[in-house]
Amino acid sequence: MDIVVEVKDLTKRYNGLVAVNEVSFEIEKGEIFGLLGPNGAGKTTTVEMIESLRKPDSGSIKVCGIDASKGIDKVKELIGVQLQTTTIYDKIRVAEAIDLFGGYYQKSLPTNEILDEVSLNDKRDSFVQGLSHGQKQRLAMALALVNDPEVLFLDEPTTGLDPQARRNVWDIIERLKGRGKTIILTTHYMEEAERLCHRAGIMDYGKIIALDTPKNLIAKQNLDSAVEFTTSNGVAREIFQKLPKVSKVTQDGSRFILHTKEASSVLTELTRLSEVNGLNLESISVRKATLEDVFLELTGRKLRE
Amino acid sequence: MNTLVGQIKLETKLFLREKEALFWTLAFPVFMIVLFGLIWKDDTWDGTPAIGYVLPGIIVMAVMVTCILNTAMGTVEEREKGVFRRLSLTPLKRQTLIGGQIVNQYLIVLVQTAILIAIGIAFFGATIGGNLLLLWVVLTIGAFSFLALGFALAGFIKNEKSAHPISMIVFFALMFLGGCFFPIEQMPEFLHPVCEALPSLHLNDALRMIAAEGAGLGEIWHELPVLLGWLAGCSAIAVKFFKWE
């Protein structure tokens, strides 16, 4: 197996605060690797060190076998980066910007091919300043793709996008995935990671606290299904813990999540319990467990707090 | 080299698309020379035609718009918007990026000067008495000291909001205290040492002597040390304090 990115014991401190704490992982060729976590977890700092935008305090980074601390110029030829906010000149046209960036690299893909890839063909002659947020984001992906990179970095590619624009970006990433592009993706949208990533590392306070395929991450926590509801009665979680087939209970204020392998039997029990105790259960829903639940389980906090 | 040529083309293209920059660098100086030319067309000051004083002053003003205002504000804008940051992820070298900007500004300076001189000669009886090559060399030294000042300012300006007022203050001070529009002899005595220290004054004096009086290097060389001093000092400051992020 080809290892494209190898990160070992990466650490970065800011004013005594440890932003990234001994993070290690390896990414294989063709893999979509996700770094998930809330804002401030250290995802962006981690990828920016691999992109050589920031210098790590300690640890090592290898991209395609090249030591990033020594071969910055070589690494730049091999990677494509979409920053969280990419701005280029306002008064440059879309196709011009792609041409311009293509000229910076030793090898580059034809501009038309890139425009097709990100579905910006109809905007090729528009000025950057006239693009919508979603279109700007797709242009940022285009600029990251001009050199047909060995590794593509996407830092929160869909943050702040409306659902339609988000789906467009997902489509692009899925097409790249189909062609075997290696991608590092950071996100705080769990559904995004579940949908796109082969493997995901969950980051919290600068550390990777779990790393596996989304499926395994969920399976390992024994969180197969989730029965969610709120109750205004102020009951303790123990009462739900005692219900048969309930493996775990998580509580977030008046909101409870019962994890189980048999959602239907738990629902029946729950209905009986509420009748007996006169509980007022509201907004009940049953769903498959998600990475969101895994995060809550691992950290005791919700992801988007 | 190819990348540098590409960057120069890019910077020129972007400049030509900025209506505001075009107005202040080209339209405004042309408006000034036409206005002042019409007012003082047939006047003579101390025996020399007024246009011989007015034209160099407007050239220096125009050069400062390009080299100080456009450079400082443009650099701060590109830095604060994250353009530099994005470009730093590509193999493009920083020297090439800045080099492209410097060459572009310098080309604009040459165009501005050529247009102003052409208008002055064609419509208002201006003459270039001295050596054109010397005029070009002095203009170039002046332009590069203002460029260095522009980049040095960009290093100190914290954000886009303060870029405009700060570079404007510097620009106006250099313009009025540097004698672009009236001789510094008309200013209060205590300001004279300040004026004497400014690069704009010495560029104005040197250009006027070459253009209106036909002076050679022997007569104007004493104007050069201050210009070269500003060039060296501001370059050092720019290199030391320039911020990419």
Residues of chain B in contact with residue A107, where contact means CB-CB under 8 angstroms, are: none
Count of pairs with CB atoms under 8 A, one residue in A, one in B: 48
**Can you give the residue range of the structural domain that contains B34?**
2-241
CB contact under 8 A, A143 and B86: yes
- Closest Cα to residue A112, out of A125, A129, A127, A130? A125
Shortest Cα–Cα distance, A261 to chain B (Å): 47
Q: Is the pLDDT of residue A305 over 50?
A: no
Task: Tell me: do A26 and A153 sit in the same domain.
Answer: yes
Residues of chain A in contact with residue B81, where contact means CB-CB under 8 angstroms, are: 87
Shortest Cα–Cα distance, B18 to chain A (Å): 8
Residues of chain B in contact with residue A85, where contact means CB-CB under 8 angstroms, are: 82
Task: Tell me: do A120 and A234 sit in the same domain.
Answer: no
Residues of chain A in contact with residue B80, where contact means CB-CB under 8 angstroms, are: none
Task: Tell me: do A230 and A206 sit in the same domain.
Answer: no
CB contact under 8 A, B86 and A92: no
CA angle in degrees (0–180, nearest 5) for B57-B60-B65: 125
CATH code for the domain in which residue A98 is found: 3.40.50.300
Span A194-237, pLDDT tens digits = 899 999 999 999 999 999 998 888 888 766 788 888 887 777 77
CB contact under 8 A, A87 and B81: yes
Residues of chain A in contact with residue B100, where contact means CB-CB under 8 angstroms, are: none
Residues 6 or more apart whose CB falls under 8 angstroms from that of B15 comprise B21, B22, B25, B70, B104, B108
CA angle in degrees (0–180, nearest 5) for A168-A172-A173: 115
Q: Is the pLDDT of residue A136 over 80?
A: yes
- pLDDT greater at residue A155 or residue A16: A155
d(C-alpha A66, C-alpha A5), whole Å: 9
d(C-alpha A20, C-alpha A206), whole Å: 4
Task: Tell me: do A44 and A146 sit in the same domain.
Answer: yes
- Closest Cα to residue B78, out of B172, B11, B12, B3? B11
- Alpha-carbon distances, residue A286 vs A17, A226, A262, B104, B160 (angstroms): 40, 6, 11, 64, 51
- What mean pLDDT is predicted for residues B36-64? 89
Q: In DSSP terms, which residues pair with A199 in a beta bridge?
A: A33
Task: Tell me: do A180 and A235 sit in the same domain.
Answer: no
- A37: alpha, beta or left, given left = phi > 0 and alpha = psi -120 to 50? left
Query: Nearest Cβ partner of A101 from B78, B81, B90?
Result: B90
CB contact under 8 A, A88 and B83: yes
CB contact under 8 A, A87 and B83: yes
- What mean pLDDT is predicted for residues A87-114? 95
Task: Tell me: do A185 and A253 sit in the same domain.
Answer: no
Q: With pLDDT > 70 as the criterion, what percentage of chain B qualifies?
A: 100
Return phi, psi of residue A186, to 5°: -105, 145
CB contact under 8 A, A83 and B3: no
Span A234-283, pLDDT tens digits = 777 788 888 888 888 888 888 888 888 888 888 888 888 888 888 888 88
Partner B contacted by A296 (CB < 8 A): no
Residues 6 or more apart whose CB falls under 8 angstroms from that of B187 comprise B177, B195
| A299 located within any domain | no
What pLDDT does B123 receive? 94
Task: Tell me: do A157 and A271 sit in the same domain.
Answer: no
d(C-alpha A188, C-alpha A173), whole Å: 16
Q: Is the pLDDT of residue A98 over 90?
A: yes
- What mean pLDDT is predicted for residues B178-192? 90
Query: Nearest Cβ partner of A76 from B2, B82, B91?
Result: B91
* Local structure of residue A127 (DSSP, 8 states): B
What pLDDT does A302 receive? 67
Task: Tell me: do A200 and A276 sit in the same domain.
Answer: no
* Domain final residue, candidates A178, A202, A218: A218
| A36 located within any domain | yes
CB contact under 8 A, B89 and A81: yes
**Can you give the residue range of the structural domain that contains A143?**
3-218
Query: Nearest Cβ partner of A85 from B14, B18, B82?
Result: B82
Partner B contacted by A88 (CB < 8 A): yes
Portion 66-105 of B in contact with A at CB < 8 A: 78, 81-83, 85-86, 88-92
Selected for mutation to probe chain A from B90, B97, B160 (highest A CB count within 10 Å) is B90
- What mean pLDDT is predicted for residues A118-135? 94
| A302 located within any domain | no
Instruction: Locate the chain B residue with the closest alpha carbon to A89.
Output: B83
Task: Tell me: do A180 and A91 sit in the same domain.
Answer: yes
Task: Tell me: do A246 and A106 sit in the same domain.
Answer: no
* Domain final residue, candidates A197, A218, A239: A218
- Closest Cα to residue B61, out of B219, B181, B185, B166? B181
Selected for mutation to probe chain A from B16, B17, B89, B92 (highest A CB count within 10 Å) is B89
* Local structure of residue B18 (DSSP, 8 states): -
Return phi, psi of residue A204, to 5°: -150, 135
Q: What is the mean pLDDT of chain A?
A: 90
Return phi, psi of residue A277, to 5°: -95, 0
Q: Into how many domains does chain B fold?
A: 1
Task: Tell me: do A33 and A134 sit in the same domain.
Answer: yes
CB contact under 8 A, A87 and B6: no
| A282 located within any domain | yes
**Rg of chain A's alpha carbons, rounded to an integer?**
22
Edge-first strand order for the sheet with A79-82 is A79-82, A151-155, A182-187, A32-36, A199-204, A207-212
Q: Into how many domains does chain A fold?
A: 2
What pLDDT does A223 receive? 64
Strands A17-28 and A3-14: antiparallel
CB-neighbour burial class of residue A221 (10 A; exposed 0-12, middle 13-18, buried 19+): buried
| A235 located within any domain | yes
Q: Is the pLDDT of residue A304 over 60?
A: no
Strands A199-204 and A207-212: antiparallel
What pLDDT does A295 receive? 82
